[in-house]
Structure 1
Amino acid sequence: MRLIIEFKSLTDFNYYDVNKYNVQGFIYSLLKNTEFKDYHDMHGFKFFNFSNIFPVSNFKYDEHKKLIISSPSSAFIKLLYYKLSNMDVFRLNKYYFEIVQLKLFKSTCSNSLISGTPLILFEDKDENRYFSFNGGNLDFDFFFKRLKDNAEKKYNAYTGENYILESDLFDNFEFNREVSIELTIRNNTFLTIGNLWKELSKDIRRDDKHFYNFLFDVGLGEKNSMGFGFLNNNRRWKKNAK
């Protein structure tokens, strides 16, 4: 399930003055004194994700922007909707915004996806080394094998099942580019490596639809609760499918 928050800025400032850590902190603040209050401190997977704030441009007074928050848990999304319904103004970093509209909708994964935010995957988690395609390392087999393993572990942790996808995670893909993301958390700044995809396509079997719908809402790869690995349905596929 997904929640779209439409809001307007109460001042002018640079787009990058609000980062993913600010958005994550805002979401955690809404979970205080609720059944999800332990999400902030729990280890392991946190089953929610969010988009970039869009459109991507500097914030201007009274100009409308949007943010999408997604989760396989409808209770989680409905709780955020309820909390925000009782608020007129909220804060990200030191800036204030006025809520214009909230919209809930059930999300369904199509056969063709695009990455809405960079997808991050550890190459070696013990060494805190992220997978990179730079330097001629185009080992897509290794990348998608690790990505599939991460997706299955995430799904089984959420459902308590022992699900195994009996095929490749995707049938076809179109790589876009690799990006480096500078994150500042508690005054500490570090670089993270991620990648963007023009298309990730799969002829989804009916028996696997629940798995892909889960991934659509929780995201691909690592650090989903920081807004990485967010997925959107591919509009190009929708046009071609008509």
Structure 2
Amino acid sequence: MRLLIKFKSDEGFEYSSINNYTIQGFIYSFLKRSNSFYDYHDMEGFKYFCFSNIFPVSDFKKGELKNLIISSPNFKLIKVLEKELKKRESAYLGNYPVKIESVSLFKPKLERQFITSTPIVLYKDGRKNYYFSMKKTHDFQFFMDRLKENALKKYNSFYDEEYYFEGNIFDRLEYGREVAVRLKKADKLFIVIGTLWKNLEKFNMDNKKFYYFLLNCGLGEKNSLGFGMLNTMGSLKNA
């Protein structure tokens, strides 16, 4: 399930002034207002939500309409966010005041072809905080194996199942590019390495529930920081 938030800024500022931590903090600020998710930020384990970049991708101008999409396989979480957002006409995105214009719920349609909306992040070595880099290793099989392992772990954790399948998670892939995302939190700079993909295709979806989960939860790691968000190819063609 997905939530589309439309808002306007009360002042002009650079697009780079807002990063993934800013948007994540915006989401948690509304979850904290609810009885069900007030301590969600402090809970261990997967958070099962993802979000898009703010679009259009351009500097913020006073009164200009911007958009943000939040997705999650947890329907209750999305409904709580919808309820809390609709209670308020204004909010803060980091240090910047914004006016919430509209909040709408929608269900994405599952198709066999996906495209990354935000970079897929995977650890090469999580203990050393070392990210997988296609440029450095060109190890495509490691990417495929780790992507499948992470997806199954999240899916089974969410549904309390022991689902597994043989073979690769996707049958056809078209690589886009690798990106280094600079994030700043509490005056500390972090660099996250991720990959963008033009096409991630599964010919036969034996378990549509699994792929619909990925569409809503995201691929790879750091989904709750906005990484690994997916769209379907059809949704872009119809946009």
User: Which TM-score applies when normalising by structure 2?
Assistant: 0.95
Structure-1 separation of matches of 2:143 and 2:28:
31
SS in 2 for 1:12: coil
**Does residue 114 in structure 1 map to residue 115 in structure 2?**
yes
SS in 1 for 2:59: coil
The CA deviation string for residues 24-54 of structure 1, in whole angstroms up to 9 with x for no partner, is: 1111111114212222011221110000000
What stretches of structure 2 of length at least 5 have no aligned partner? none
Structure-1 separation of matches of 2:37 and 2:108:
21
User: What does residue range 19-98 of structure 1 map to in structure 2 within 5 Å?
Assistant: 19-32=19-32, 33-98=34-99
The CA deviation string for residues 69-94 of structure 1, in whole angstroms up to 9 with x for no partner, is: 00001111011000011100111111
Structure-2 separation of matches of 1:90 and 1:237:
29
Structure-1 separation of matches of 2:84 and 2:204:
35
What stretches of structure 1 of length at least 5 have no aligned partner? none
Equivalent residue for 2:211?
A: 212
Residue correspondences, number: 237
Equivalent residue for 2:143?
A: 143
SS in 2 for 1:37: coil
**Does residue 221 in structure 1 map to residue 217 in structure 2?**
no
Instruction: For residue 62 of structure 1, report the CA deviation from its aligned partner.
Output: 0.8
Instruction: For residue 108 of structure 1, report the CA deviation from its aligned partner.
Output: 2.9
State whether residues 152 and 165 of structure 1, in contact with CA within 8 Å, keep that contact through their aligned partners in structure 2: no
Instruction: For residue 237 of structure 1, report the CA deviation from its aligned partner.
Output: 8.7
Structure-1 separation of matches of 2:118 and 2:70:
13
Structure-2 separation of matches of 1:8 and 1:92:
11
SS in 1 for 2:168: coil
Equivalent residue for 1:231?
A: 230
Amino acid at match of 2:176: N
Structure-2 separation of matches of 1:179 and 1:223:
15
- Stretch of structure 1 that moved more, 103-112 or 3-12: 103-112
CA RMSD of aligned residues (A): 1.4
Instruction: For residue 204 of structure 1, report the CA deviation from its aligned partner.
Output: 3.5
State whether residues 111 and 234 of structure 2, in contact with CA within 8 Å, keep that contact through their aligned partners in structure 1: no
Structure-2 separation of matches of 1:176 and 1:36:
36
SS in 2 for 1:59: coil
Instruction: For residue 236 of structure 1, report the CA deviation from its aligned partner.
Output: 8.7
Amino-acid identity (%)? 49
Instruction: For residue 12 of structure 1, report the CA deviation from its aligned partner.
Output: 0.6
State whether residues 108 and 216 of structure 1, in contact with CA within 8 Å, keep that contact through their aligned partners in structure 2: no
